Chain A
Amino acid sequence: MGTAVYEDVLKIFPVSVRALFKNAAFQYEQLQEIRMRSGRPLCVRYQGRECFLTAAGERTNCVRDAFCVNDRQLQETLQLASGYSLYSYEEEIRQGYFTIRGGHRIGVAGKVIVEGGTIRGIRYITCMNIRLSHQVRGCAAPVLPYLLDRNGRLYHTLILSPPRCGKTTLLRDLIRLLSYGSGDAPGRTVGVVDERSEIAGCYMGVPQNDLGIRTDVLDCCPKAEGMMLLIRTMSPEIVAVDEIGSAADAEAIESAIHCGCRVLATAHAENLEEIQRKPIMSACLSNRLFERFVILQPAACGRVREILNEEGERLC
């Protein structure tokens, strides 16, 4: 399975770069990120550590031996990754990334075109960060019992961690488990607002990741509008969103809760204290919008450090 996905991911690279990765024979499950910068070494985050590839495709930690990506290879990668149709990702690129088949997210940087104070697009893309999507089935199973009440209803839950610690992976698996249902808890209708196509990894509207049989996905939709739209149209029992932080998000979450939906969300923060220092999020906490906090271990992908209740008391 991993090999097939790895082969599929390699298709986004031109032949010359593809050969390096074939020689390197990475295990897909351990491969997290590939960074390409024009004229700079090809950087790979593998097994949680950064490494480079030599021109022969061998792994190395020495920058001097590293294979450098040229502009042509970078542009060809962009073309292949976008299915030769960069224009069809125009809206996403405006936000600095686009999602490809398989749910992998490609962040881009280059010359930003600004018109009237708003970003019109990015030209001369010279840096790419390919974040590979991983489904870790069952990773949320030990966490789920702490998030359900006696009747099997989900507590309003917020997952906290710094970037790259597995928030989205945990969220995805929680959605899947809640949607399929398990032993005590029957399957629930879950509405997912996937603003950055990271949770479901939709490609042309079709979720590439398994989110369960009772899940409806609004892809590429702004979170605040999406939550209200889902509530109006799909009547979900649970609304799931990734990386909340704006005032509009907080307002929409409050509305969703008042509409009787359970909320499952993630936010960037290392701990509860850090989130309390953010004005908008601290308002959510003081209003007691969330009843459970799942805090992930920094720099330990997907490991849960603690689960807290609304009083901040540690449950595990």
Chain B
Amino acid sequence: MLKIFGALLICVSSTLIGVELVREMRQRVQALKEIKKMLLLIRGEIQFAATGLTDLFLEMGGKMEHPLDELACQVGRKLSEQDGTSFAQVWEAEFCDGLRKQVTALTKEDIQCLEGIGELSGTPDRAMQLGTIDLYLERLEPRIQEAADAVISKAKMYHCVGAMCGVLLVLLLI
């Protein structure tokens, strides 16, 4: 009885590891899409209302999903403090570091790709600002595509391998 229970536990755990890996892959896609949505919101606000970055990030709270909403608000709050730090420093410390801690599904390269957004505040005209955002949107698009493709191609495999590893381990132990 104890053996059966142990074998079952191994099989379930192993399957759950596979499920968790797939969930993380899906979470990455979701996070990248959410970041794209954020960039599009920023783009729209700059293009049509020339909203400043501080107000723009402060107002983003209700328009994004957690934890990006909180991170964006935190950037806005830090900018409104006007403590002498540059936008690049605030972006890195509040947003990129926050992503590293709270959205573990994102890869190091994903976050590196976003770090350059910190240079957004340096452009003196709107056209250049929008061009910079477009550049990051273009960089983001293939990442989203690659992450989504990975989910399609690997999800079934991870589920199967997870379950099979459990079974194999049980057979070996018996």
Q: Do A and B come from one complex?
A: yes
Task: Name A's B-contacting residues (CB within 8 A).
Answer: 11-15, 18, 75-76, 79-80, 82-88, 90, 93, 120-123, 125, 204
User: Nearest residue in B to A15 (C-beta to C-beta)?
Assistant: B84
User: What are 20 pairs between A and B in contact, CB < 8 Å?
Assistant: A11-B82, A12-B82, A15-B84, A83-B53, A84-B53, A84-B121, A85-B51, A85-B53, A86-B122, A86-B123, A86-B124, A87-B50, A87-B124, A87-B125, A90-B124, A90-B126, A93-B124, A120-B125, A121-B125, A204-B55
Report the separation of the CA atoms of residues A70 and B118 in the bound assembly, to the nearest whole angstrom: 22
Number of A-B pairs, beta carbon distance below 8 Å: 62
Contacting residues, chain A, for B125 (C-beta < 8 A): 87, 90, 120-121
Report the separation of the CA atoms of residues A80 and B84 in the bound assembly, to the nearest whole angstrom: 7
Contacting residues, chain A, for B86 (C-beta < 8 A): 76, 79, 84
- Choice from A83, A120, A122, A123 contacting B54 with Cβ under 8 Å: A83
Report the separation of the CA atoms of residues A12 and B82 in the bound assembly, to the nearest whole angstrom: 8
Question: Given the interface contacts A79-B121, A83-B79, A123-B124, does A88 sit within 8 Å of B87 by beta carbon?
Answer: no
Contacting residues, chain A, for B82 (C-beta < 8 A): 11-12, 80
- Choice from B87, B124, B128 contacting A84 with Cβ under 8 Å: B87
Report the separation of the CA atoms of residues A312 and B86 in the bound assembly, to the nearest whole angstrom: 55
Question: Given the interface contacts A15-B84, A79-B87, does A90 sit within 8 Å of B122 by beta carbon?
Answer: no
Contacting residues, chain B, for A82 (C-beta < 8 A): 52
Is B52 in contact with A85, judged by CB distance below 8 angstroms?
yes
- Choice from A11, A12, A18, A87 contacting B46 with Cβ under 8 Å: A87
Chain A nearest CB, measured from B23 CB (Å) = 36
B interface size (C-beta, 8 A) = 21
Is B129 interfacial (CB-CB < 8 Å)? yes
Contacting residues, chain B, for A84 (C-beta < 8 A): 52-54, 79, 86-87, 121
Contacting residues, chain B, for A120 (C-beta < 8 A): 125
Chain B nearest CB, measured from A77 CB (Å) = 10
Chain B nearest CB, measured from A18 CB (Å) = 6
Contacting residues, chain B, for A79 (C-beta < 8 A): 86-87, 121-122
Chain A nearest CB, measured from B168 CB (Å) = 56
Chain A nearest CB, measured from B27 CB (Å) = 30
Chain B nearest CB, measured from A107 CB (Å) = 15
Report the separation of the CA atoms of residues A75 and B122 in the bound assembly, to the nearest whole angstrom: 8
Question: Given the interface contacts A11-B82, A13-B84, A79-B86, does A87 sit within 8 Å of B126 by beta carbon?
Answer: yes
Report the separation of the CA atoms of residues A116 and B126 in the bound assembly, to the nearest whole angstrom: 19
Is B51 in contact with A86, judged by CB distance below 8 angstroms?
no
Interface residues of B in 114-154 (CB under 8 A from A): 121-126, 128-129
Is B51 in contact with A88, judged by CB distance below 8 angstroms?
yes
Contacting residues, chain A, for B124 (C-beta < 8 A): 86-87, 90, 93, 121-123, 125
4 closest cross-chain pairs (CB), A and B: A85-B52, A84-B121, A15-B84, A11-B82
Report the separation of the CA atoms of residues A125 and B124 in the bound assembly, to the nearest whole angstrom: 9
Is B50 in contact with A90, judged by CB distance below 8 angstroms?
yes
Contacting residues, chain B, for A11 (C-beta < 8 A): 82, 84
Chain A nearest CB, measured from B77 CB (Å) = 13
Chain B nearest CB, measured from A271 CB (Å) = 40
Contacting residues, chain A, for B53 (C-beta < 8 A): 83-85
Contacting residues, chain B, for A80 (C-beta < 8 A): 82, 84
Contacting residues, chain A, for B129 (C-beta < 8 A): 87
Is A83 in contact with B52, judged by CB distance below 8 angstroms?
yes
Chain B nearest CB, measured from A26 CB (Å) = 18
Report the separation of the CA atoms of residues A93 and B50 in the bound assembly, to the nearest whole angstrom: 14
- Interface-centre pick from A79, A84, A121, A125 (highest chain B CB count, 10 A): A84
